[in-house]
Chain A
Amino acid sequence: MRELELYFGPQHLGMVGNFSITLKVEGDRIINATANPGYLHRGFEKLMEYRTWMQNFPLVCRINVVEPDHMELIYSMGVEKLANIEVPERGKFIRSIYCELARVGSHLFGLWAYSNMLGFDTAANWAMYHRDLVLDLFEELTGARVYHIYIRPGGVRRDFPEGFEDKIVKTLHSIGGKVPDYNATFFENRLFEKRAKNVGKITREQAIKMGAVGHAIRATGMKYDIRKIEPYAAYDKVEWDVPTREGGDAYSRLLAIRDEMIESVHMIFKLIDKMPKKGDVFTKTPNPFKWRIPAGEAYVRCESSRGELGLYIVSDGGDKPYRVHFRTPSYSHGLTILEKALEGESIADVGNIMISLYVVAPEIDR
Chain B
Amino acid sequence: MIFKYLFYLLIFPGFLFVSVFGMIVGWVDRKVSARVQFRVGPPFFQNFYDIFKLWGKEVILVKNSPYFIFVIAPIIAFASVLITSTLVGTAFFFNLGIGGDLIFIIYLMIIYSVALILGASSTGNIYSSIGAGREMKLLLSDELAFILVILVPIIHAGYKIDLIQILDYQQVNGMIIGSASGIIAFIVGIICLQAKMAMVPFDIPEAETEIIEGTLIEYSGPLLAFWKLSHFMMYVFMPLLLVILFWGGISFASIGSIIAGVLKYLLIVVIMILIKNTNPRVRIDTAIIFFWKYASPLALIAVILAILGA
A interface list, Cβ under 8 A from B = 4, 6, 12-14, 28, 115-122, 124-126, 129, 185-186, 189, 191-192, 194-195, 346-351
Question: In the assembled complex, which residues on chain B have CB atoms less than 8 Å from the CB atom of A192?
Answer: 280
| Contacting pair B283 A122 (CB below 8 A) | no
Q: Tell whether A189 pairs with B210 under 8 Å between CB atoms, given A121-B33, A194-B286, A348-B284.
A: no
Q: Nearest chain-A residue to B34 (Cβ)?
A: A125
Chain B window 263-296, contacts with chain A (Cβ cutoff 8 Å), 1 for yes, 0 for no:
0000000000000011111111110000000000
**Stretch among B44-52, B200-208, B254-262 lining the A interface:** B200-208
- Select one of B38, B39, B280 contacting A191, CB under 8 A: B280
B64 within 8 A of A: no
Name the A residues within 8 Å of B211 (CB-CB). Answer: 347
Please tell me if B11 contacts chain A, counting CB pairs below 8 Å: no
Supposing A119-B203, A121-B33 touch, asked if A348 and B210 sit within 8 A by C-beta, the answer is yes
Q: By the criterion CB–CB under 8 Å, are A119 and B130 in contact? A: no
Given A115-B280, A122-B33, A350-B210, 11 new contacts (CB under 8 A)? A28-B133, A119-B208, A119-B209, A119-B281, A122-B277, A125-B38, A126-B37, A189-B278, A191-B201, A192-B280, A351-B210
B208 touches A121 (CB 8 A): no
Q: Does the CB pair A14–B210 fall under 8 Å?
A: yes
The DSSP consensus for interface residues of chain A is helix
Tell me the complex Cα distance, A118–B126, Å.
21
CB pair A347–B210 under 8 Å, yes or no, is yes
Contact B209 A195 (CB under 8 A): no
Q: Is A351 touching B209 in the complex (CB atoms < 8 A)? A: yes
When chains A and B are docked, how far (Å) is the Cα of A194 from the Cα of B278? 15
A126 closest partner in B (C-beta): B38
* Residues of A with C-beta under 8 A to B37: 121-122, 124-126
With A120-B200, A195-B286 as given contacts, are A125 and B209 in contact (CB-CB < 8 Å)?
no
> How far in angstroms is the closest Cβ of chain A from B195?
14
Which chain A residue lies CB-closest to B289? Answer: A194
Report the Cα distance A117→B204, complex, angstroms. 12
Q: State A98–B285 Cα separation when bound (angstroms).
A: 44
Given the complex of chains A and B, what is the CA–CA distance between A34 and B283 in angstroms? 23
* B103 at the A interface (CB under 8 A): no
Nearest neighbor of B213 in chain A, beta-carbon distance: A13
List, sorted by A's number, 15 A–B pairs whose CB atoms are closer than 8 Å: A14-B209, A28-B130, A118-B209, A120-B279, A121-B277, A122-B33, A122-B36, A122-B278, A126-B38, A186-B280, A189-B280, A194-B286, A195-B280, A195-B283, A346-B285
